[in-house]
Amino acid sequence: MDSPEPRLADVEYLEVQCKSALNPVKGMGFNWSLNPYTGCEHRCAFCYVRAFELRADRPSDDRYGRAIRVKINVAGVLRSELSRKSWHRETVVIGAATDPYQPAEGRYKLTRQCLQVLRDFSNPSGMITRGPMIVRDLDVLTDLARRANLHITFSIPTVDDEVWRRTEPGTAHPRQRLRAIEKLVAAGIDVGVGMAPILPGLSDRPDRIEAVIKAARAAGATGLWAGMLHLKDGTREHFMSVLAKHWPELVPRYERAYLGRAYLPPAFGEPTLKAVSRLRVLHGVSDRRQVVLKPPPEPEQLSLLYKHVIEKEGEKLAVCLLVDSGKLYRFPYEDTKGIRGLEVKARYLRGEMEHLRLREFQPGLCRYVERAGQAV
C-alpha cells in the first residue's frame, strides 16, 4: 500500500535562523553540502544521522525526527555565500544529512528556494532524497540542469513492502519514488538510484536485490550504486531495537557481524556488492535518456573584454565593456559595484585591456551588461 509521506501529528517545527548555509564536508566525493532542515521526519531505522544526533546530545532513539529545525533564512544566506568572490562554483549537494523533501518542505519550500538560488548562480548541484515531492520542483530543476551540472540520487534500498514499512516508516513507498524518477528522467534530468543501506539478512537476498535493479532500469535511472549498512553508536541502538521487535531471529547474526565495529567486514558485504555490480550490468542500468539537459559549454561569446575606466579629475565616471559579439557598452561606474569582481578589476586594471571570463562573475552578467549598459 502506498504511503503519501504524511506529516506526523506529534512533529514539532522549530523555526531558526542559520548563520551559514553551506557546510564543508570531507570524504563524501563532494566538498559542500546544504541542509535546509535539521532532523528528518522520515525516521529511518538505519539513519546514520542518529549517530550525529547522539554526539550532539540530542535524541537518537524513537524521539528522533519529531522536532525539525527549519532554517527559514537558508536561501538568503546561500545567496550571500554564492555571491562571495572567494566562491569558486564547487558542487553543492542538498540533503546529505536530512531529506530535503521531507514533509516540512511541503509547507516551507526551502529546498525549492535553495534550488532557485543555485539556478540563478548556475552552480553545479547534487541532491539526495527519498521524497517524490521533488516532482513539484521540476520547473526549477530543469532550469538548473540547463545551466549547470545536476545529479540527483534517489535512495531506494529495497522495494520489499515489509522491509520498507518497518525500516523507513516515514518515507513514501518505493514505487512512488520510482515514478518520480521516471518523470525527472523523462524531462532530461540525470537521476540515479542509491541502493543504500542494504540490510544483511533482509534486503541482501538475491531476489530482492534484483527486484530493485530491475525497477531502477524500468524507471530509467541513469545509474545505480549500493552500500551496506553501517551501525555507529546512536544508529546502532535504535536499529537493533527495531530488529529485535520485527526480526528477533536476526539479532545474533547482527551482533556477530557488527561486534566492536560500525562497518561490516568486507567478507560479509563484498559478495552482495559484487552481485549488485553484476546485475546492474546484466539489466543495463545506464544513462539512456532520450532528452538530456546539460549546461552549454562556456562559449567565447559569453566572455567580456574589459575596456577601460573613464576617469576625470580622479573621479571614476564609467566602465566600458566589450561583449564578444562586438558591441561596446558603457556603465556608470557606480552601477558596477554590484557586479562581483568587476569593480575590483576595474580598480586595478585601469586603462588596460583584460579578457574576463563570465564564470568569474555572477551568472547572467553578459545579459545584465546588455540590458543595463548603454551601447556606444
How many C-beta neighbours within 10 Å does residue 68 have? 21
Phi, psi of 363 (to 5 degrees): -60, 150
- For cell 540590458, the residue is 371
The yes or no reply on residue 230 touching ligand SF4 (CB under 6 A) is no
User: Of 43, 69, 208, 238, which lies in the binding site for ligand SF4, with binding defined by CB under 6 A?
Assistant: 43
Alpha carbons 104 and 308: distance in angstroms, whole number: 50
C-beta separation of 221 from 192 below 8 A: yes
Q: Which of 33, 34, 42, 309 contacts ligand SF4 by CB under 6 A?
A: 42
**Residue closer to ligand SF4 (CB basis): 35 or 122:** 35
Distance in angstroms (rounded) separating the CA atoms of residues 21 and 187: 28
Total H helices, total E strands in the chain = 13, 15
User: What does the block give as the cell for 347?
Assistant: 580598480
Write down the least CB distance from residue 42 to ligand SF4, Å: 4
Verify binding: residue 238, ligand SF4, rule CB under 6 A. Answer: no
Residue 44 vs 115, nearer CB to ligand SF4: 44
Identify which of residues 233 and 298 has a Cβ nearer to ligand SF4 in the complex: 233
Question: With contact defined as beta carbons under 8 Å apart, do 135 and 129 qualify?
Answer: no
Radius of gyration of the CA atoms of the chain, in A: 24
- Rounded to a whole number of angstroms, the minimum distance from the CB of residue 268 to ligand SF4 is 21
Please tell me whether residue 202 binds ligand SF4 under the rule CB under 6 A: no
- State yes or no: residue 116 binds ligand SF4 (CB under 6 A): no
**Residue of 49, 148, 180, 309 that binds ligand SF4 (CB under 6 A):** 49
Instruction: Annotate each residue in 67-106 with x if it binds ligand SF4 (CB under 6 A) or - if it does not, as one string.
Output: -------------------------------xx-------
Q: Does residue 47 touch ligand SF4 according to CB under 6 A?
A: yes
* Cell numbers at 365, concatenated: 552578467
What grid cell was written down for 240? 537493533
Distance in Å, CB of 44 to ligand SF4, minimum: 3
Residue 69 or 130 with smaller CB distance to ligand SF4: 130
Contact by Cβ (8 Å): 244, 166: no
Interface residue list for ligand SF4 (CB under 6 A): 40, 42-44, 47, 49, 98-99, 130
